[in-house]
Amino acid sequence: MTANDNRPRLMAPKDAAAATSLSRTLLILMAEAGEFPKLSERRSAYVRAEVEEWIDKRIAARAAA
């Protein structure tokens, strides 16, 4: 990610769900189980770079299988 790409560093649950094609409820459950990155326990937001890294790892794992 470049410093001036004008994308917010945080993603709303709706945006994270759209990026991953998973439901918001499933993302919350996965975050609580430590299977998906979450900003904090009190804030319903995701760090964009961490979500994109999670997606990249899933794609790489699929390619390696």
Query: Which residues are bridge partners to 34 per DSSP?
Result: none
Range 6-26 average pLDDT: 93
The H or E element containing residue 53 is: helix 48-64
Side chain identity, residue 34: G
The predicted-structure confidence for 45-60, as pLDDT tens digits, reads as follows: 899 999 999 999 999 9
Mean pLDDT of the chain: 89
Whole-model pTM: value is: 0.80
Range 24-28 average pLDDT: 93
Residue ranges of domains in the chain = 10-64
